[in-house]
Amino acid sequence: MALLQDLIRQIDDPVLRERILQETDKLIEQKKFGLVFEEHLPECTPLYNMPIRVGSKIALKTGYVSDIYTVLRIDGDNAICDRRETHEQKTFRLDEIVVVAEFGEPIYPTLTPIDTVENAPDSNLWHTLIEADNYHALQLLEYLYAGKVDCIYIDPPYNTGAKDWKYNNDYVDSSDQYRHSKWLSMMAKRLRLAKKLLNPKDSVLIVTIDEKEYLHLGCLLEEVFQEAEIQMISSVINPKGSARTGRFSRVDEYLFFVFMGKSEVYPCESDMLRIVIEKERRVRWAGLMRNGEGSTRARIPSLFYPIFIDEITGKFHSIGKPLKPDQDRTSIISPKGTIAMFPVSGSGQELQWRLYPPSFMKYLEKGYIRFGKRNQDGTRSVSYLQDGMIKKIENGQIIITGRNPEGDLELEYADSLGTKKPATVWNMVSHSASEHGSTFIKNLLLGRKFVYPKSLYAVRDTIRFVVKDKPGAIILDFFAGSGTTLHAVNLLNAEDGGHRRCITVTNNEVSADEAKALTARGYQPGDEEWEKLGIARYVNWPRTVCSIEGHDINGNPLKGNYIGSDIPMADGLKANAAFFKLSFLDKTSVALGKQFAELLPVLWMKGGAIGRCPVLNTGELPPMLLMPENKMAVLIDETYYSEFDDEIRKRSEIQTVFIVTDSETAYREMIRSYDGKDCYQLYRDYLDNFRINTGR
């Protein structure tokens, strides 16, 4: 094709040349000139919460979801159904069938609240977890956030041939000759919707993958995101290696970064490759207690003196005078409410401090003294900056970036403060999927398993590279799995004070082994015993709650700090999150205003998911809803517009306005003075979106 285009450009007639180029461009877009894969049967999704009615399309809960029947009539607890393919009539019990939706059909989704976790009551930032098939969730998100998402991070199934993903509710294994084609078909549909969510002027899509599909995925991304710039990263996630019979041991996987508009990678402290260099560049604080040969108290008595700290808070109080050579340290009377700390080894040997009292106080004032964690006896370790480090501060090699609450300095090498561009090969110990993925979840959820979770720190670093300077970014993961992305966003916010919002989507599938065991016990998909063992409810949401509140699933405080920061896991991560299940509404009932209460969570998300999601418990709808804590308002009865308008003018914090009216003219008239606010007409805006955007 390149040669053909070159020849066409040699045509003298400009009109003819342009016309032929246009026609060849159309040919290039056809599959035979690019990535080739089959257009498979439409994907189908079981809708367990939808009522079964005459005319409903259904499938057996334990059968193939693509084996579709139409309900002809309902007789008590039975449904008489017509099979689409053969028109054979069969009778099923209502409890053994489920309504199904096919790809391309108009759907009218909403969100049903399941649970919330709140550890930042003073913050109006709320993350959301949506339990759903991600295709239908993306349709809803397109209505909510088209062109508004700053970063999409996804870790889709790798199509290994094992039971790691389903197509039409059936596992795709290595013997399926259309395995790659089905995977591409599944990904293409979702990536096209994802593209509509991304901010075309400045956003990034990140997709992780391994060697099974990385070539196909690269071609697909080039096809869907033709205007974007794409890079592929190799990341070491398994330093021990995964054996491949007769082949190289695999230690890495790949990440595609799709850069939209002016998006770019922000510099950081490391190039992500030379780990040893990174470690050597850390500012070193030395222990204040001298040890080793010649460090005994008797050698330099004037370096043996008490440091007093508050017995409750542990904060520095004062220092005492050096003890006389023969003076017993237990004879020292501490100031009231303090503990005396001496340079004494673990074996009880009396040693020396490295600084004389006047120097200690001078160093303390300058922030060169740092107190560590409290020991069981209430004392604390003490460290200080040696002369070499102080000289580097004075000559500008080390930069003071701030002070900690107790006054000690926060320091960084001048050449490591966000000045290094990360390389295209990452080799970070913290990115090990075994230690910081599987083991991390095991410790958090006490044995609950999730296959191949990502390292928390790998996801944090990946996202940080593209949203570091976007403290209010919207981040989406529609293959959320175990919930690593939301956890990583919360950690990133805690580290830099950001206000980034995360939206995650995962299905609630159980593992193949669990499905087999549940079926043997007589349970089916949709049953409570089945659903509670699904990914969303058994792994993702519990992890979200535990990480935000700082405990494991039994309520025991988490141990240790997050790697690369001084944030104790037991303190939790200051955030709020809401858990929803994607449900579906009847379009006629929506149009008549009979399902406003059910639609309210969708309006809340469209308004920015600000504050706690409102709940409408009253049976009769009020004429208007004013929700300043959510920065939104709804006019339900348009005859109350004057009163509504007065309230909107009083409440400048309201940024999103919904007007319920059938008249486009009346709607335009009512919002004419609401410049700077986001306004939407109900229920037309909602219904038109899902009626028009079908067959995508």
Residue 32 has a pLDDT of 54
Which tokens go with 628? 């300043």
pLDDT tens figures, 467-524: 999 999 999 999 999 999 999 999 999 999 999 999 999 999 888 888 889 989 988 8
User: Does any domain span residue 461?
Assistant: yes
User: Angle of helix 596-606 relative to helix 134-145, nearest 10 degrees?
Assistant: 70
Q: How many beta carbons lie within 10 A of that of residue 9, not counting itself? A: 10
Structure tokens at 695: 């067959």
Q: Which residues of 85-122 are buried (b: 16+ CB within 10 A; e: fewer)?
A: eeeeeeebebeebbbbbbbeeebbbbbeeeeebebbee
For 126-162, what is the HEC assignment?
CEEEEECCHHHHHHHHHHHHCCCECEEEECCCCCCCC
Look at residue 696 in the predicted model and tell me its pLDDT.
Answer: 44
Amino acid at 528: E
For residue 570, tell me if it sits in a domain. Answer: yes
Residue range 152-156: average pLDDT?
Answer: 97
- The structural domain count of the chain equals 5
Q: Dmax over Cα atoms in the chain, in whole Å? A: 107
Amino acid code (one letter) for 281: R
Gap between the Cα atoms of 186 and 24, Å rounded: 28
User: Which residues constitute the domain of residue 15?
Assistant: 2-33
Indicate if 253 and 369 belong to the same structural domain. no
In a domain, 311, yes or no: yes
Q: What is the CA radius of gyration of the chain?
A: 31
* Boundary of a domain, candidates 385, 405, 431: 385
Distances in Å between the alpha carbon of 233 and those of 89, 265, 290, 411?
54, 13, 46, 30
Q: Is residue 411 part of a domain?
A: no
Name the nearest CA neighbour of 206 among 141, 167, 248, 151.
151
158 close to 481: Cβ distance less than 8 angstroms: no
The end-to-end CA distance of the chain, in Å, is 29
Other Cβ atoms within 10 Å of 673 Cβ, number:
10
Q: 148-152, 177-181, 284-288: which has the minimum mean pLDDT?
A: 177-181
Domain boundary among 102, 117, 140: 102
Q: Are residues 512 and 623 in the same domain?
A: no
pLDDT at residue 695 in the model = 45
Compute the CA torsion angle 413, 415, 419, 422 (nearest 10 deg): -90
With a pLDDT cut of 70, the percent of the chain lying above it is 94
* Closest residue by Cα to residue 167 from 84, 97, 66: 66
Q: What is the average per-residue pLDDT within 295-305?
A: 94
Mean pLDDT value of segment 42-61: 87
Ranges assigned E (strand) in 493-631: 501-506, 576-584, 624-627
Residue with tokens 């955030």: 575
Whole-angstrom Cα distance, residue 677 to residue 680? 10
Over 70: is that where the pLDDT of 215 sits?
A: yes
Burial class (CB in 10 A: 0-12, 13-18, 19+), 36: exposed
Structure tokens at 321: 């005078």
**pLDDT tens digits, 330-370:** 999 999 999 999 999 888 899 999 999 999 999 999 999 99
Tell me which amino acid residue 590 is: V
Kindly report which listed range (164-168, 520-524, 591-595) carries the lowest average pLDDT score: 164-168
How many residues can be counted in the chain?
A: 696
Please state the rounded mean pLDDT for residues 392-406: 88
Examine residue 279 and state whether it is found in any structural domain, yes or no: no
Give the pLDDT score at 34. 56
Mean pLDDT, to the nearest integer, of 248-268?
Answer: 94
What CATH number does the domain containing 97 carry? Answer: 2.30.30.30
Q: Same structural domain for residues 54 and 115? A: no
The DSSP call for residue 105 is S
**114 and 97 both lie in a single domain:** no
CA 604 remoteness from chain centre? 20
pLDDT at 200: 97
CB 52 within 8 A of CB 99: yes
Task: Output the pLDDT for position 395.
Answer: 84
- 239 and 432 Cβ atoms separated by less than 8 Å: yes
The pLDDT value recorded for residue 564 is 79
- 318 phi and psi angles, rounded to 5 deg: -175, 180
Comparing 65 with 282, which gets the higher pLDDT? 65
pLDDT value, residue 160: 84
- Position 69 pLDDT exceeds 70: yes
Q: Which strand (E) or helix (H) includes residue 410?
A: strand 409-413
Same domain, residue pair 164 and 297: no
Who wins on pLDDT, 37 or 657? 657
Residue 558 pLDDT > 60, yes or no? yes
Instruction: Indicate the average pLDDT of the chain.
Output: 89
Which one has a higher pLDDT value, 91 or 284?
91
369 and 440 co-located in one domain: no
pLDDT at 245 over 90: no
Return the amino acid letter for 404: N
* 278, 422 contact by CB (below 8 A): no
Tokens of 135: 């295709």
Residue 276 lies in a domain: no
| Domain termination site, one of 551, 579, 607 | 579
243 and 326, same domain (yes or no): no
Q: What is the pLDDT of residue 279?
A: 46
Give the HSE-up count for residue 279: Cα atoms under 13 Å, Cβ half-sphere. Answer: 6
> In the structure encoding, which two tokens stand for residue 523, read together?
């349970």
Could you tell me if residue 463 is inside a domain?
A: yes
Inform me whether the pLDDT recorded for 417 exceeds 60.
no
pLDDT attached to residue 41 = 62
Beta bridge partners of 254: 209, 234
> Is pLDDT at 274 greater than 60 in this prediction?
yes
In this prediction, residues 267-279 reach a mean pLDDT of 66
Kindly state whether residues 130 and 89 are assigned to the same domain: no
Please check whether residues 502 and 620 belong to one and the same domain: no
Q: Confirm if 487 and 475 have CB atoms less than 8 A apart.
A: no
Q: Is 391 within the bounds of a domain?
A: no
| Pairwise CA distance, residues 389 & 124, whole Å | 42
- Judge whether residue 573 has pLDDT over 90: yes
Mean pLDDT, to the nearest integer, of 426-454?
86
Q: In terms of domains, do 98 and 138 share one?
A: no
Average pLDDT on 614-639 reads 92
Same structural domain for residues 656 and 598?
A: yes
Kindly state whether residues 626 and 686 are assigned to the same domain: yes
- Alpha-carbon distance of 26 to 5, in angstroms, equals 13
pLDDT at site 291: 83
Report the C-alpha dihedral over residues 435, 441, 443, 447, rounded to 10 degrees: -120
Residue 320 has pLDDT above 90, yes or no: yes
